[in-house]
Amino acid sequence: MGKNLTYKPFGHKAILIEWEPRIDENILNDILQFKEKISFENREQYADFIIAYNSLTIVYHHTISDFKKEQQRLEFIHNLEFESKQTAHFIWEIPVCYNVKFGIDLQEISVESNLTIEEIIKVHSEKIYTVFFIGFIPGFLYLGGLDKKLFFDRKENPRLQVPKGAVGIGGKQTGIYPFNSAGGWNIIGNTPIIFFEAKKTNPCFAQAGDRIKFLPISIEEYHQIEKKIKENSFQISKTLLHD
């Protein structure tokens, strides 16, 4: 894994490293381990690490004066034998109400996929999804592992307003909108869970490499959890992930 990585300058203070262009957990694991190796080597010189499906962007505090030399150094680090610190990862259980009040695209997906709404909910909630990375807005989890039965193209004309907590399908992915936002994903439900809190040390509770399990709930349960969250008395269920 990683023999055919490409390295590109990304401005004066960053390097973009790319793997094969596909959604693959082996690639994700290699990215996470590479990031860990680099951090262990000299964390102080790096300002940030940005993970995507098949890339790692390293942002430096300083200007990169010799790109080729830095590329060679990174290639050497990538090939090092390394005993991982085994950063803890979790399976997070996220309650979702799939009622058509929230799942405004369920009917369209049902017609196009030849699945009943009940079957869509069952297929979507039975899977355990992998968090590959976080973006395009803070707290938006890009999740891999969607069943092929639910692959559904994004909308040609995105909505100007998708509600906070909306659970959607976009192509081969599923994800959750952490804020009210424009977006072109097909909405199948909503969760009352808050995915980004700027004032916290870790604003987003999940990280790349974690897993997400969706738990179907009723509208009544949705409002009960919503109330508990406002009262700061709700705890998201999580289980330590053992690979």
Assign 211 a pLDDT band (cuts: 50, 70, 90).
very high
| 146 pLDDT higher than 70 | yes
In the 8-state DSSP scheme, what is residue 155? P
Strand pairing class (90-97; 211-217): parallel
Average pLDDT over residues 31-46: 82
Q: What is the pLDDT of residue 3?
A: 61
Average pLDDT over residues 204-208: 88
% residues pLDDT > 70 (the chain): 94
| 243 pLDDT higher than 60 | no
C-alpha torsion sign, points 34, 36, 37, 38: positive
**Helix orientation angle between 25-42 and 67-79, rounded to the nearest 10 degrees:** 110
Going by C-beta distance under 8 Å and a sequence separation of 6 or more, which residues neighbour residue 66? none
Q: What is the pLDDT of residue 134?
A: 86
Average pLDDT, the chain: 90
Assign 93 a pLDDT band (cuts: 50, 70, 90).
very high
Hey, how many other C-beta atoms are within 10 angstroms of the C-beta on 201? 5
| 1 pLDDT higher than 60 | no
* Architecture, CATH, for domain 6-79: 2-Layer Sandwich (3.30)
C-alpha torsion sign, points 26, 32, 38, 41: negative
> What are the boundaries of each domain within the chain?
6-79, 90-240
Taking a C-beta distance cutoff of 8 angstroms, is the pair 185, 117 a contact? no
CATH of domain 90-240: 2.40.100.10
One DSSP character per residue, 9-69 reads: E-SSSEEEEE--SS--HHHHHHHHHHHHHHHHHHGGGEEEEEEETTEEEEEESS--S-HHH
Average pLDDT over residues 54-70: 92
Q: Which residues pair with 181 in a beta bridge?
A: 162
Higher local confidence (pLDDT), 221 or 23: 221
| 202 pLDDT higher than 70 | yes
Q: What is the pLDDT of residue 86?
A: 60
56-70 burial, b at 16+ Cβ within 10 Å, e below that, comes to: bbbebeeebeeeeeb
3-state secondary structure of 137: coil
Average pLDDT over residues 27-52: 84
Report the alpha-carbon distance of residue 52 to residue 44 in Å, rounded.
22
